[in-house]
Amino acid sequence: MADVIDHPSRTAAAETRAATGYNFAYLDEQTKRMIRRAILKGVAVPGYQVPFGSREMPLPYGWGTGGIQVTAAVIGPDDTLKVIDQGADDTTNAVNIRSFFAKTAGVATTEKTVEASVIQTRHRIPETPLSEDQILVYQVPIPEPLRWLEPRETETRKMHALEEYGAMHVSLYEDIAKYGRITKSYNYPVKVNGRYVMSPSPIPKFDNPKMDRMPALQLFGAGREKRIYAVPPYTRVKSLDFEDHPFTIETWDQCCALCGAGDSYLDEVVTDDKGGKMYVCSDSDYCEQRREAGHVGDGGDPAYAARNQIPAGDAPAGDEPAGDEPAGDKQ
């Protein structure tokens, strides 16, 4: 086999930080080239699932093997990496993947969205808008949006090729017929650039509008299913819906109990065994930035807001219909 090819921008500084015995960012250079080719193809055909030779990674399938391989292929020594899991920087998955790349690539890591150049994510898109010089890498468990309707891979590929997406609406029809509204609240299917129907990975539908014309490059890696797909910057991403039942996002009638944010995705946190609970931002960095800037929430006490006159900007926007969606309904 060929000798290990040095990463072209390998610097002495990164060399000293990275653990010895590994190639830069764990994967060998040939594998990274193969993944980059798949990524380029994915960018060229937005939303199309490109097969790639997924490698065994030192963690189980379902823990982000696809995302890690994509990150390893795009990250350079000068990049700053942020990893989030369900919006938080301090959960097991996020902490482990961050330390994995700190160790094998010697890259700088951060918890701040604005400082990161590569963000690997599971189940959320950061609340802070992303910019052109950032890459968002999603961990994807099941890349095929048609899988639950059509178990045969040969058939789903044909359906994508011939743009036969009627079956996708059948599941939305069923929701409305049964519950009066579309109840799918995460992994909500989208159409990319008016052509391919794509699974956005299990992000809440709250995050779907953020994908539309996002300035950052969005890459999706599914390790077990061996698929990579991409949404290039400023690409149209439309959530599927009916004309008379348009797509809507979740809303809450609370603000974040810690920072008072009314525009972020809220997690329900149970505080005691007597039915006590509070709602806090799922994006831990966003919540922290707000608290540092002096914003405070009601601490879980609904009367607090009334007593302490929370600034108007922090209250939920008045035009949002509040409370028609049960909070914390993500699965």
Partner 1 sequence: MTAAPAFRMPDPLLQVRGLTHRYGPHIGCRDVSFDLYPGEVLGIVGESGSGKTTLLKCVSGQMEPTEGSVEYETRDAGLIDLFRMSEARRRLLMRTDWGIVYQNPRDGLRMRVSAGANVGERLMAIGDRHYGHIRSEAVDWLERVEMDIGRIDDMPHTFSGGMQQRLQIARNLVTKPRLVFMDEPTSGLDVSVQARLLDLVRGLVRTLGIACVIVTHDLGVVRLLSHRLMVMKGGNVVESGLTDQVLDDPQHPYTQLLVSSILPV
Which positions are catalytic?
47, 256, 259, 281, 287
User: By CB under 8 A, how many residues form the interface with partner 1?
Assistant: 18
Q: Is 193 in the site for partner 1 (CB under 8 A)?
A: no
- Taking the C-alpha atoms of residue 121 and residue 136, their distance in angstroms, rounded to an integer, is 7
Residue 178 interacts with partner 1 (CB under 8 A): yes or no: yes
Q: Which residues in the 126-165 window bind partner 1 by CB under 8 A? A: 158, 162, 164
Nearer to partner 1, 15 or 164 (CB): 164
Q: Which of 243, 272, 273, 319 binds partner 1 (CB under 8 A)?
A: 243
Question: CA–CA separation, 143 vs 190, rounded Å?
Answer: 12
Check binding of 176 to partner 1 (CB under 8 A): yes
Does position 173 interact with partner 1 (CB under 8 A)? The reply is yes
Which residue number, 178 or 307, has a Cβ lying nearer to partner 1?
178
Q: Which is nearer to partner 1, 33 or 152 (CB)?
A: 152
Number of other residues whose CB lies within 10 A of the CB of residue 146: 22
By the rule CB under 8 A, 166 interacts with partner 1: yes
Question: How many angstroms separate the CA atoms of 67 and 54, rounded?
Answer: 11
Q: Does 174 bind partner 1 (CB under 8 A)?
A: yes
* Structure tokens that stand for 209 in this block: 């509008």
Q: Which stretch binds partner 1 (CB under 8 A): 3-11, 135-143, 217-225, 236-244?
A: 236-244
Within residues 47-76, the interface with partner 1 by CB under 8 A covers none
Q: Choose the stretch contacting partner 1; rule: CB under 8 A; options: 111-119, 170-178, 189-197, 224-232.
A: 170-178
The answer to whether residue 234 forms part of the interface with partner 1 (CB under 8 A) is no
Nearer to partner 1, 111 or 150 (CB): 150
The least CB distance from residue 191 to partner 1, in Å, is 11
Q: Of these, 5, 169, 299, 315, which contacts partner 1 (CB under 8 A)? A: 169
Q: For residues 92 and 154, which CB has a smaller minimum distance to partner 1 in the complex?
A: 154
What are the residues binding partner 1 (CB under 8 A)?
158, 162, 164, 166-167, 169-171, 173-174, 176-178, 241-245
